[in-house]
Structure 1
Amino acid sequence: MKILSIDTSNYVLGIGLLDGNQVMGEYISNLKKNHSVRVMPAIQTLMNECNVKPAELSKIVVAKGPGSYTGVRIGVTIAKTLAWTLNIPLTGVSSLEVLAASSGRHFNGFVSPLFDARRGQIYTGLYQFEEGRISSIMEDQLIMTTDWAPKLNELSQNILIAGNDLPLHQDILKEILGDKAVFAEITEHNPRPAELALLGRNKPDEDPHHFVPNYIRLAEAEAKWLESQSNQKNK
């Protein structure tokens, strides 16, 4: 079973190929560049390098958000198009779950992955590995860092915190959590596309036509548009 995984939900661009229990290849970059012009060449390059033809793929797995509104949309759109064109299953996985699995598979405690959401907010959740399987302890959410840290401080175990945006929030987390906070190494902040493929391998398939990303919140432009429509109706 050959699985192609796609993650464009943040600055990290990740493409992976998983064949059964073997990671055939991964492409990862962490650059502030346009995913829309880079993702298809990256997919093609990796598949050519691994000598895998599109017709050999058994499943597409995509990071479905949260994260960058544009980034999530790009990855999901490409994944849906490929799944529909090749007539193969599509599965979505939380972008935060992928990061948690990439950094905390062997951590004895809880894992709190995070992405910056501006204005002191973060996208985050709480995960834990038990017998090699990851489970969600607190659902993915949008929250102020100053509100999230006290919640974590109530836990009885240490918390591994990971994400490329960690430096933006590390001082607050350290101040509130103290030694309970364990900060991931810089090599553990990039979500691995092979982990994405592995997580999605046994998750339920979804209909490409009805599959939707999980933005958690509306893009600012969309929120303003909806607000303007509501105001017009109330006039």
Structure 2
Amino acid sequence: MTDLSASPAHLTPPADVVLALDTATPFLTLALTSPGGEQEECREVGRAHAEQLPGAVQTLFARAGLHLRAATVVIGTGPGSYTGVRVGASYALGLARVWGAQVRGVPTLEALVRGDGPQAVSLDARKGHVYGAVYDVRGGVVTGVIHPPQKHSLDAFEMLRGTLPHHQEGRPSGLALLRAGLAHGQSDWTLSYL
């Protein structure tokens, strides 16, 4: 269990400390930025997000030499399993309430982008379908949406992406999620499910 009292309530969260987390995939994906640098962790946990998330966040802050407190929390909004997506969202909202932080949502698919240029990303939506999008990426951050996140048949998505690079079912990047959240994360986000 996370001891939120370790960060006194009267302290204003440091504006330059940002936490990102995603629990929509089988991976527990975290990132933290501060003036002291960047920290990132991504580990496969299956369905054990709820059990491992609090301790992993505490460890991430400790590794960075920071108090457990941030001004912004970026959350991956899915698509993912109902329980997985809600674990991360609930935890992020709880932290934000205690810290007085803002929460910005970003589609989990944006944590799959790599490099620069137009590219397709997707997650398995079962029964011959994927949940995918096609993005334009610059500096490792989505700068344009060519085809918005949507459920497609495998064949339809292959036709949609054409010859573009396709990143699928890979290890999400917490830093890509964090940077997307800072660049264009939404404060009025909603969760999406596979």
TM-score range, shorter-chain basis? 0.7 to 0.9
Which residue pairs with 1:52 in the alignment? 66
Q: Which runs of 5+ in 2 are unaligned?
A: 1-15
The match for 1:212 is 190
- 2:158 matched to 1:146? no
Counterpart amino acid of residue 89 in structure 2: V
Alignment of 1:18-167 (within 5 A): 18-19=33-34, 22-23=37-38, 25-55=39-69, 57-100=70-113, 103=114, 105-106=115-116, 108=117, 110-130=118-138, 133-134=141-142, 135-153=144-162, 158-164=163-169
TM-aligned CA deviation for residue 133 of structure 1: 5.0
Alpha-carbon spacing, 1:32–1:201, altered in 2? closer, same or farther (3 Å) = same
**Residue aligned with 1:15, SS:** strand
- Give the Cα–Cα distance (whole angstroms) in 2 for the partners of residues 72 and 122 of structure 1: 17
From the two aligned structures, give the one with the greater helix fraction: 1
SS at match of 2:145: strand
Amino acid at match of 2:58: Q
Give CA-to-partner distance per residue, 1:21-67, whole Å, 9 cap, x none.
931x1121023241110111100111112121123x11100101112
Q: List per-residue Cα deviations over 1:142-162 (Å, max 9, x = no partner).
A: 111022212223xxxx31111
| Cα distance in structure 1, aligned partners of 2:186 and 2:130 | 29
- Residues paired across the two proteins, number: 178
Using a 3 Å threshold, how does the CA distance of structure 1 residues 88 and 145 change in structure 2: closer, same or farther?
A: same
AA matched with 1:35: H
CA RMSD of aligned residues (A): 2.0
Corresponding residue for residue 17 of structure 1: 32
Match of 1:226 in 2: none
User: Quick one: percent identity of the two aligned structures?
Assistant: 25
- Residues of 2 paired with 1:205 and 1:84: CA distance? 17
Q: Counterparts of 1:131 and 1:195 in 2: how far apart (Å)?
A: 10
TM alignment of 1:177-188, pairs within 5 A = none
TM-score (norm 2): 0.83
Aligned partner of residue 202 in structure 1, secondary structure: helix
Which protein is bigger by CA-based radius of gyration? 1
* TM-score normalized by the length of structure 1: 0.70
Question: What code does the residue aligned with 1:139 have?
Answer: P
Partner of 2:9: none
State the partner residue of 2:7. Answer: none
Is the CA contact (8 Å cut-off) linking 2:104 and 2:181 kept in structure 1?
yes
Moved over 3 A (4+): 130-133
Match for 2:108: what amino acid? S
